[in-house]
């Protein structure tokens, strides 16, 4: 009887936890969206307290212009997104559940025009739309004590809370580096390419962006040693999807979507 009850409960848990990503991949997503959004908002507020925020109006308007163009075509159910530029020399950006986008000043010399910055922002927003943070937290929930994770949702300063922030994609800021998996990274590349094209940016610049990243990063470990696709693989995959993305961008521009974001 107990075995039957356990099996039934487990099966129900698995069924309830099944989801599908925007690109059609089956996902294990268990955590409630409102809890994940709360984690994202709290993480963002902590980041603003711990990392200097850039107040240059022109720079903020530029980043917001690109971000808003991506958000408008994302079909996100978040009513209001917040965008912040952080004074940090690392070439990094992130998006968090709850509608938060952060861009480091160190990214701008690498993503050195609006189309290339749109590539990064589209990629990060794609992580959120694809529930990659929720997926990773749900996987962790499945293999650890659920109670500890639930308690950590309300306190990101604990060790477990910081681990959860790493799962959301802001681990470097919290001292925990938990990169997205290769599948999630590739998924974000493809969805991000679609988003920037729908917004009217030039998808071809996505290849230039990752070429810049490769030059900025120097020597890179072989792909099988990393959870991320190699730059070469990433560029090959983007080029394979480029014809469709260019068609989407052409249609978007014909419909009047021509972002005029200038620094």
Question: Whole-prediction pTM value?
Answer: 0.79
Decide if pLDDT at 174 tops 50: no
- pLDDT value at residue 17: 53
Decide if pLDDT at 46 tops 70: yes
The region that residue 98 occupies, defined by phi over 0 for left and psi between -120 and 50 for alpha, beta otherwise, is left
- pLDDT value at residue 86: 97
- What rounded mean pLDDT belongs to the chain? 80
Check: CB of residue 26 under 8 Å from CB of residue 18. Answer: yes
Q: Which of 35, 50, 124, 232 is catalytic?
A: 124
- 233 confidence band (pLDDT: 50, 70, 90): confident
**Rg, Å, the chain Cα set:** 19
d(CA 210, CA 208): 6
d(CA 170, CA 146): 21
Which of 97, 89, 120, 78 has the alpha carbon at shortest distance from 167? 97
Indicate the pairing of strand 100-104 with strand 93-96.
antiparallel
106-136 tens-digit pLDDT: 999 999 999 999 999 999 999 999 887 787 7
Decide if pLDDT at 194 tops 80: yes
More reliable by pLDDT, 45 or 232? 45
More reliable by pLDDT, 142 or 26? 26
Decide if pLDDT at 16 tops 50: no
- 140 confidence band (pLDDT: 50, 70, 90): low
d(CA 237, CA 262): 29
Cβ neighbour number for residue 182 with a 10 Å cutoff = 17
Check: CB of residue 217 under 8 Å from CB of residue 90. Answer: no
124 noted as active-site residue: yes
- pLDDT value at residue 229: 73
- pLDDT value at residue 199: 98
d(CA 159, CA 176): 10
Which of 100, 92, 89 has the alpha carbon at shortest distance from 48? 100
Partners of residue 72 on adjacent β-strands? none
């Amino acid at each position: 009887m107990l075995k039957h009850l356990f099996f039934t409960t487990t099966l129900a848990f698995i069924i309830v936890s099944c989801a599908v990503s925007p690109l059609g991949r089956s996902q294990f997503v268990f955590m409630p969206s409102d809890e994940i959004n709360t984690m994202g908002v709290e993480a963002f507020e902590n980041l603003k307290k711990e990392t200097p925020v850039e107040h240059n109006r022109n720079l903020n308007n530029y980043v917001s212009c690109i971000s808003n163009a991506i958000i408008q075509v994302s079909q996100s159910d978040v009513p209001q997104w917040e965008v912040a530029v952080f004074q940090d020399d690392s070439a990094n950006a992130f998006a968090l559940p709850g509608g938060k986008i952060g861009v480091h000043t160190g990214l701008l010399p690498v993503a050195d025009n609006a189309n290339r910055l749109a590539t990064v922002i589209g990629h990060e927003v794609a992580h959120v739309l694809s529930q990659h943070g929720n997926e990773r937290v749900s996987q962790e929930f499945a293999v650890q004590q659920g109670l500890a994770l639930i308690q950590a949702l309300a306190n990101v300063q604990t060790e477990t809370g910081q681990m959860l922030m790493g799962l959301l994609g802001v681990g470097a800021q919290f001292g925990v580096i938990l990169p997205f998996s290769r599948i999630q990274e590739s998924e974000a590349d493809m969805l991000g390419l679609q988003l920037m094209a729908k917004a009217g940016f030039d998808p071809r610049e996505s290849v230039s962006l990752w070429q810049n990243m490769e030059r900025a990063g120097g020597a890179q470990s072989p792909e099988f040693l990393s959870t991320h696709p190699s730059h070469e693989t990433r560029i090959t995959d983007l080029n394979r999807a480029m014809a469709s993305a260019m068609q989407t961008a052409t249609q978007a521009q014909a419909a009047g979507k021509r972002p005029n974001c200038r620094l």
